[in-house]
Structure 1
Amino acid sequence: MFALMQSTRTQSLHLWTDPDTGLKAVVAIHSQHLGPALGGCRYLPYADEQRALSEALQLAQVMSYKAALAGLPFGGGKAVILRNVHVENRAALFEAFGRFVDTLQGRFITAVDSGTSVLDMDCIARATPHVSSTTACGDPSPHAALGVFAGIRATAMARLGSDNFEGLRVAVQGLGNVGYALAEQLHAAGAELLVSDLDPGRVRLAVEQLDAHPVAHDALISTPCDLFAPCGVGPVLNTQNVMTLRCAAVAGAANQQLADLQVADRLETRGILYAPEYVINAGGLIHVALTHRGADPRTITAHLARIPERLTEVFAHAQAEKRSPARVAHWLAERLLYG
């Protein structure tokens, strides 16, 4: 574990248990160079504890890079709660997690993430002020989707020479809160949607409401389209399945879209433009960070509008330097964090 901490430059790793509620939680603080660490709380089942620890460390690094590139005065962190099959009192479990967060004395601020909701954040808030995306702050998913949609426009312009979605075939993998909101915006703009999700009910809803075409979850990556939008839990693309992609660009809401930077190089070799996750999916983080600081909606909207600008800058750097946008974004983030 120390080797993984060193490889990701993680500052600290914190573990907590609460026998009364069954809580087993991890908080990874990657960096506080730009400010207190900010990151969502995941509540998912894990095959083993090692995987939960590894995911917390890797996602904390992602959050640091994302905050740096978004120009936010925060570092990166991530919380993971190991989900049991049976939970007697969910509210008590998240309140216990809030007590854990409070022991970190403001060095880590948590928020909603995969498997958690604003109601869970309300329970955390009973024990600590170091939480955002509560009922009072609002769900960050709409702003996350808005940012990705704006980023897809910039990606389409860079790769296809037009940001007109009319008739554009977009494959959306994952129809959670952000993925579905993104699909709604793409449909309203005239895009033809190909969709998949592990929950068949979400797929049926997209078919009924958005005229989407359902595709088997494991087949969507290789289905011909103009743009592939991964919006589920990553990593989505690896060195094997990236070779089956049949699209012009990859741009979506998921964290950890690529297994590693070698996948980014393969995308570049194949002429598939990749919109780095650190940039395109920063909308949720922007909402969480700025609402926690008391910013008004106008300020948040203005900050969201910078996402396509940053993405266009990354694309320009990548083209000039003849390397993957993912490597450019990685380099820019590390320069901001480490000089």
Structure 2
Amino acid sequence: MQVWEAMGGGGFEEIIFASDPANGLKAVIVLHNTQAGPALGGCRMWNYASEEEALADAMKLARSMTYKSAISGLPYGGGKAVIWGDPSKDKSEAMFRSFGRFLQRLNGRYVTGVDLGTTVRDMDAIAQETSYVTDMTGTLGGSGNYTAEMTAYGVYLGIEASLQEAEGSRSLAGIRVAVQGLGKVGYALCRYLRKAGAELLVSDVNGALTDRAVREFGASAVSPGAIYAQDCEVFAPCALGGVLDRRVLAQLSCRVVAGAANNQLAGPEAAAELKARGILYAPDYTINAGGIIATALELAGSGAEDIRRRVETIGPTLAEVYRLARSAGLDTAQAAGQLAEAKLAALQRP
């Protein structure tokens, strides 16, 4: 990767590499845009294959967070931190406290929270060194799976809005939904969908989670490699990003793609291909914004009821994206980008 070229071409403001050999910390903090307010985005810990992969992931996620905050009308920019390591064996309190000291040096330009591979306990360790962290013990974000629940609730409402656009009805009764990934968000989404009468096809690399969904929701289990080709109305990717590549697109047999995963498109051409095939794509940073909405509103002092009401704006925001795509002849990713950029311009501080 040509880092300077990538930063300039993508509008990135700052990249910080953090290292502490005493506890094994290797982290990247990426600030994409702070024009509307401090960068907001979680701290991920993942066992990347290389330094370049870790940096590329942090950059993609940080940019997505800018657009997610903007399209949701939140006074925050986008940022992301990734810690390179195996969260099952490499993490320690000392590591996260060290990360917190690096975060403190940014003096509030970036606020972090729980993400893939990190926990409330990790945020508690960070909070010993800085106040620029969320999802600690005693907060809403640190209560059970609250952030995941709000993300799932927003995705559920987004699926309803997408069905309204694609099929003329938002009812989920009898609708077949293929859910890829049964982590905290994917599993909570299944609960919402089943309660609304959807028929679930589920897949996860963790067979125990698949078995649990079969028992609890009456779902049909599908092998991870076969989930894309299922005959269904909705394909909901809720695992890692980049899933919508040429190979997967060729297998899809659905009317709507709407899920919780970040950065679902392998590239911009994927959105154009979905449009050409008549498959409605719900842009990921629009439909999965429930978690960031919850975090931003809690930081502003709002309670659970106000947060839930704000998450319920995800459906109308998606409807706005779809109207723009129709009227301007755009694919939905292009329409979401235009809408987010317009909102970002309106939010920018003088």
Q: TM-score, normalised by structure 1?
A: 0.97
Once the two structures are superposed, the pairs formed by residues 5-16 of structure 1 within 5 Å of their partners are 5-16=7-18
Distance 2:260 2:332 in 1: 16
Q: Deviations over 1:288-315 (max 9, x none)?
A: 1111222122221221111101100111
Q: Does 1:200 align with 2:207?
A: yes
Q: Deviations over 1:162-221 (max 9, x none)?
A: 111111100000111101000111111111111111111111111111111111112111
Distance 1:3 1:67 in 2: 25
Q: Does 1:225 align with 2:232?
A: yes
Paired position in structure 2 for 1:51: 53
Counterpart secondary structure, 1:240: helix
Once the two structures are superposed, the pairs formed by residues 1-339 of structure 1 within 5 Å of their partners are 1-84=3-86, 87=89, 90-137=92-139, 138=141, 139-337=146-344
One-letter code aligned to 1:258: L
One-letter code aligned to 1:292: L
Counterpart secondary structure, 2:42: strand
One-letter code aligned to 1:8: G
1:136 positional shift: 2.0
- Structure 1, unpaired ranges of 5+: none
User: Does the aligned pair in 1 maintain the 2:87–2:118 contact within 8 Å?
Assistant: no
**Mean Cα displacement is larger for which, 135-144 or 43-52?**
135-144
How many residues of Structure 1 are paired with residues of Structure 2 in the alignment? Answer: 339
User: Does the aligned pair in 1 maintain the 2:73–2:343 contact within 8 Å?
Assistant: no
Distance 2:157 2:134 in 1: 24
Counterpart secondary structure, 1:111: coil
Counterpart secondary structure, 1:140: helix
Distance 2:215 2:176 in 1: 18
Counterpart secondary structure, 1:288: helix
Q: TM-score, normalised by structure 2?
A: 0.94
Cα distance change of structure 1 residues 13 and 226 upon mapping to structure 2, 3 Å threshold = same
Distance 1:314 1:165 in 2: 21
One-letter code aligned to 2:42: G
User: Does the aligned pair in 2 maintain the 1:4–1:54 contact within 8 Å?
Assistant: no
**Mean Cα displacement is larger for which, 263-272 or 192-201?**
192-201
Distance 1:47 1:257 in 2: 20
Cα distance change of structure 1 residues 85 and 122 upon mapping to structure 2, 3 Å threshold = closer
Q: Deviations over 1:47-87 (max 9, x none)?
A: 00110001111110000000000000000000000014884
Counterpart secondary structure, 1:25: strand
**Mean Cα displacement is larger for which, 297-306 or 44-53?**
297-306
User: Does the aligned pair in 1 maintain the 2:157–2:314 contact within 8 Å?
Assistant: yes
One-letter code aligned to 1:290: L
User: Does the aligned pair in 2 maintain the 1:26–1:56 contact within 8 Å?
Assistant: yes
One-letter code aligned to 1:63: M
Cα distance change of structure 1 residues 314 and 88 upon mapping to structure 2, 3 Å threshold = closer
Cα distance change of structure 1 residues 85 and 112 upon mapping to structure 2, 3 Å threshold = closer
1:337 positional shift: 3.3
One-letter code aligned to 1:122: D
Distance 1:90 1:247 in 2: 43
- Structure 2, unpaired ranges of 5+: none
Distance 2:301 2:99 in 1: 24
Counterpart secondary structure, 2:35: coil
Identity %: 44
**Mean Cα displacement is larger for which, 191-200 or 298-307?**
298-307
1:88 positional shift: 6.1
